[in-house]
């Protein structure tokens, strides 16, 4: 079915066409699937008064919402969605969503962390190797002609034989751990509790993990519970030969402390995919030659984004069919 703006009449009156609000679009193929199955209310396409009008019209009749981690779902929005029973999130992260408030109201949340795991873990490994082997600098060294004019660039730092500390040994953290082992790293981790089923060294604080590790990789969820978890003390414990990798959320690290540690060479290098201010990170990052920057794009492959969108569609289908949700969060 075709979506409609807030002032348009219903596309049709079929009882088998549930009303769904789209706060963030899916991939084109999956959007077409939604169009064929539901009456869509495109919140993502309107602003200001039009947005308020759409919520006033669609809020009382829409039991599902399509969103992703960039969408804020708080008490203010929930108050305008009295019929909502499912928020189908097309990303792994949901730190801008008030899950407690949703749970109190009986609203289920789903996400897509299961299908983006491999690409995100690959990016953690890529950032780690690029930072430690100074890949961007090497690329510039060849392109500029410095290789021919100045000879070989300075030596870099080996990865094999070192120790990788992973903050957050969930699904993505475990995938990173396996990749670290494959390139000859010894793995340790920090989490709120010790995880069964592995032989990795466990540390009960991030400082202890950083003190042990040569490379610190953050793979924990965002949100208030992990805000500032990687503090100046953690970075100091990592030390002047250590590398810091973040594919989690910008809120997890004290970003000013990280920038200062890089500027003062109190850590050797960093590889970063996530920032406090996206898509306009602190400009001091761009001035650093010991950090590899990536635009929050760890899951940004055609294949993974298609799988994320399809899992969102499948969760909607399960909800409206009365079947168990595929990837429930709460």
Catalytic residue list? 249, 278, 296
The H-or-E segment that residue 292 falls in is: strand 291-293
- Give the C-alpha distances (Å, rounded to integers) separating 104 from 48, 96, 108, 275, 278: 28, 17, 10, 31, 30
- Strand order, beta sheet including 19-22: 39-42, 19-22, 62-67, 86-89, 108-110
184/16 Cα distance (integer angstroms): 55
CB 164 within 8 A of CB 190: no
235/257 Cα distance (integer angstroms): 8
169/176 Cα distance (integer angstroms): 9
Q: What are the beta bridge partners of residue 188?
A: 165, 201
- Phi/psi for 86 (5° steps) reads -145, 130
DSSP secondary structure string, 54-74?
HHHHHTTTEEEEEE-TTS-B-
33/28 Cα distance (integer angstroms): 9
Question: Could you tell me the two tokens for 162?
Answer: 């070192």
64/8 Cα distance (integer angstroms): 20
């Amino acid at each position: 079915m075709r979506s409609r703006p807030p002032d348009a009449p219903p596309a049709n009156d079929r009882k088998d066409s549930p009303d769904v609000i789209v706060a963030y679009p899916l991939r084109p193929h999956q959007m077409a699937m939604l169009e064929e199955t539901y009456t869509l209310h495109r919140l993502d396409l309107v602003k200001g008064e039009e947005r308020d009008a759409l919520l006033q019209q669609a809020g009382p009749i829409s039991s599902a919402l399509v969103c992703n981690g960039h969408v804020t779902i708080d008490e203010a929005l929930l108050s305008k969605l009295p019929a909502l029973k499912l928020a189908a999130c097309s990303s792994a992260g949901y730190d801008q969503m008030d899950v407690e408030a949703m749970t109190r109201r009986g609203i289920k949340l789903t996400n897509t962390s299961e299908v983006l795991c491999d690409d995100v873990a690959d990016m953690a490994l890529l950032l780690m190797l690029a930072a430690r082997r100074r890949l961007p600098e090497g690329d510039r060294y060849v392109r500029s002609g410095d290789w021919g004019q100045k000879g070989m660039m300075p030596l870099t730092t080996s990865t094999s034989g070192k120790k990788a500390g992973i903050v957050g040994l969930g699904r993505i953290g475990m995938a990173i751990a396996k990749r670290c082992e494959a390139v000859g790293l010894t793995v340790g981790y920090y989490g709120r509790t010790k995880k069964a089923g592995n032989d990795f060294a466990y540390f009960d604080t991030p400082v202890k993990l950083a003190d042990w590790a040569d490379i610190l990789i953050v793979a924990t969820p965002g949100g208030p519970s992990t805000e500032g978890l990687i503090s100046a003390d953690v970075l100091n414990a990592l030390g002047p030969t250590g590398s810091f990798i973040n594919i989690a959320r910008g809120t997890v690290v004290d970003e000013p402390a990280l920038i200062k540690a890089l500027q003062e060479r109190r850590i050797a290098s960093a590889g970063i995919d996530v920032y406090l201010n996206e898509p306009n990170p602190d400009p001091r990052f761009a001035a650093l030659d010991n950090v590899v920057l990536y635009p929050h794009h760890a899951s940004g492959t055609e294949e993974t984004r298609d799988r994320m969108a399809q899992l969102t569609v499948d969760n909607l289908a399960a909800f409206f069919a009365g079947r168990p949700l595929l990837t429930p969060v709460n």
